[in-house]
Amino acid sequence: MKIGFLSVGTEILLGDTVNTNLTNLGRRLYDAGFKLNKEITISDNEKEIHDAIIYLLESCDVVVTSGGLGPTEDDITKEVISNSLSLELELDDSHVEWMKERWKSRGLIMPETNIKQAYIPKGSEKLINTQGTAPGIRISKDDKEIFIFPGPPREFIPLVEDELLPYLTENFEKNDTDYQFVMLFNQAESSLAAEIDKFKPEGLDIAYLASRGIIKLRFDRNSVSKSDFDIFIDKIDEIFSDDILAYENISVEKALGSLLAKNDIKVSFVESITGGLLSSLLVKNPGISKYFIGSDIVYGNQAKSILLNDNDIDFENWEVLCVNLTHSSLEKYKTDICLTILGEAGPLSSSQYSVGTIFICISNGDKTVITDHKMNGNREEILQRSANKAQWELIKFIKNLY
């Protein structure tokens, strides 16, 4: 069984909107035992929608669409798909009344343009959208299944979870792939692959996914025998143990949050180059307030002076400055560990240090470790890599303590 995904929206192609629906759909399908095989993103154009839906129906058993179900004239996905399948649209009067009541409950009158959202292809099934006014739609046609969903993620994702996945589970066999992940830091993709090639079993389905200092290895357990796979994983652990972040498909911030919770460690940050990015990543973890106590963004020298309570500071020596800021934060927040990060993000340097240079200091009061690193890329890439690197250094620091 093959699944195709059609994203409709000129705003995606213009870069105004990030297509998070693609990521969320792929991940949720995989977690449920299925696989997304093809994806097409097109503009709000009648011919493009027609051509894309026909192409996906020729090569896939199930097609999911997102976008183009709104009340405005550029929302034409449902109309074009219905026409492409020679299906008439019928007005669902009960849905019109439901929408009017929803607007009325907010003290408003529903615009007439919203009525177009209540037209449903004849013979299709209306799917309840708990987060919006445009219903989802399931069409069965010539042994194919088409799920037409709205584009906003807060509406799209619940329909995937409440309607698509249960239907697939009940009516289709799940894939026999079984992926194992290994997340690594401090490894170059090419040299890592060359080393792994020396001992990987023949026929192993393996992929290397590199992103901002992190390399995700993905293996299909079912592509080789269990004994060969177990030997392979043991070898990975033996050679790369110092650089392994996790044996599951998780983010650095989730790995760090779990480690803080496991060891009941309270931390604080002092951020300069990352300007709060490091803190914003960590707070993605639910319940992290028990362990993440506070952060100071000391982007300018005045802010650094205030945190240090000292106007006579050598701002040129970042190594010493980094250590002093760390100890000040430990005293201020009474945390178990503090991490400070300074650096140059560019595009021009404002100090004696070159663009991409960062300093990271981590201390628990008794033990203080300071390291400097060189981050490559443009400004945004340097910031992201710096935040990832800081988290990785903190993970190593904690693991060496416990």
Q: How many domains does the chain have?
A: 3
Q: What pLDDT is attached to residue 82?
A: 97
Q: What pLDDT is attached to residue 177?
A: 79
The answer to whether 178 and 220 are in contact (CB under 8 A) is yes
How far is Cα 137 from Cα 135, in angstroms, rounded to an integer?
6
Q: Tell whether 135 and 233 lie within a shared domain.
A: no
Q: Tell whether 160 and 183 lie within a shared domain.
A: no
Q: What pLDDT is attached to residue 162?
A: 96
Cβ-Cβ contacts under 8 Å for 388 (sequence gap 6 or more): 185, 212, 213, 214, 252
How far is Cα 325 from Cα 339, in angstroms, rounded to an integer?
9
Q: What share of the chain is helix, strand, coil (3-state, %, to 5)?
A: 45, 25, 35
Q: Tell whether 261 and 231 lie within a shared domain.
A: no
Q: What pLDDT is attached to residue 211?
A: 86
Helix (H/G/I), strand (E/B), else coil: 359: strand
Phi and psi angles of residue 173, each rounded to the nearest 5 degrees, phi first? -75, 145
How far is Cα 155 from Cα 161, in angstroms, rounded to an integer?
11
Q: Give one DSSP letter per residue of 244-290, joined into a string.
A: EEESSS--HHHHHHHHHHHHT--EEEEESTTTTHHHHHHTTSTTGGG
The answer to whether 337 and 327 are in contact (CB under 8 A) is no
Helix (H/G/I), strand (E/B), else coil: 393: helix
Point out the domain boundary residue: 136, 171, 206. Answer: 171
The answer to whether 64 and 6 are in contact (CB under 8 A) is yes
Report residue 213 as tokens.
């200092």
Q: Tell whether 18 and 148 lie within a shared domain.
A: yes
How far is Cα 242 from Cα 236, in angstroms, rounded to an integer?
11
Q: Tell whether 39 and 125 lie within a shared domain.
A: yes
Q: Tell whether 236 and 261 lie within a shared domain.
A: no
User: Cα 73 from chain centroid?
Assistant: 32
Q: Tell whether 265 and 394 lie within a shared domain.
A: yes
Q: What pLDDT is attached to residue 313?
A: 85
Point out the domain boundary residue: 171, 202, 234. Answer: 171
Point out the domain boundary residue: 118, 144, 171. Answer: 171
CATH number at residue 42: 3.40.980.10
Long-range contact pairs involving 368-374 (C-beta distance under 8 Å, separation at least 24): 368/323, 368/326, 368/327, 369/393, 369/397, 370/319, 370/322, 370/323, 372/319
Q: Tell whether 121 and 30 lie within a shared domain.
A: yes
* Beta bridge partners of residue 398, listed in sequence order: none
Report residue 170 as tokens.
């009940």
Q: Kindly state the DSSP code that residue 204 receives in the 8-state scheme.
A: -
Cα dihedral sign for 21, 26, 31, 37? positive
Q: Could you state, in chain order, the average pLDDT of each consecutive group of 10 residues for the chain (402 residues)?
A: 97 95 94 94 97 97 97 95 97 96 94 96 96 96 97 96 96 89 92 95 94 91 95 96 92 96 98 98 97 97 93 88 97 98 95 96 97 95 96 96 84
How far is Cα 345 from Cα 10, in angstroms, rounded to an integer?
33
The answer to whether 59 and 2 are in contact (CB under 8 A) is yes
The neighbour count for residue 366, using CB atoms within 10 Å, is 6
CATH number at residue 213: 3.30.70
The answer to whether 68 and 149 are in contact (CB under 8 A) is no
Q: What pLDDT is attached to residue 176?
A: 79
How far is Cα 358 from Cα 315, in angstroms, rounded to an integer?
14
CATH number at residue 269: 3.90.950.20
Q: Tell whether 317 and 333 lie within a shared domain.
A: yes
pTM for this one?
0.77
Report residue 379 as tokens.
């400004």
Domain that holds residue 391: 252-401
The answer to whether 311 and 240 are in contact (CB under 8 A) is no
Q: Tell whether 260 and 321 lie within a shared domain.
A: yes
Q: Tell whether 269 and 359 lie within a shared domain.
A: yes
Kindly calculate the radius of gyration of the chain based on its CA atoms and give it in whole angstroms. Answer: 26
Q: Tell whether 48 and 30 lie within a shared domain.
A: yes
Report residue 378 as tokens.
């443009």
Helix (H/G/I), strand (E/B), else coil: 149: strand
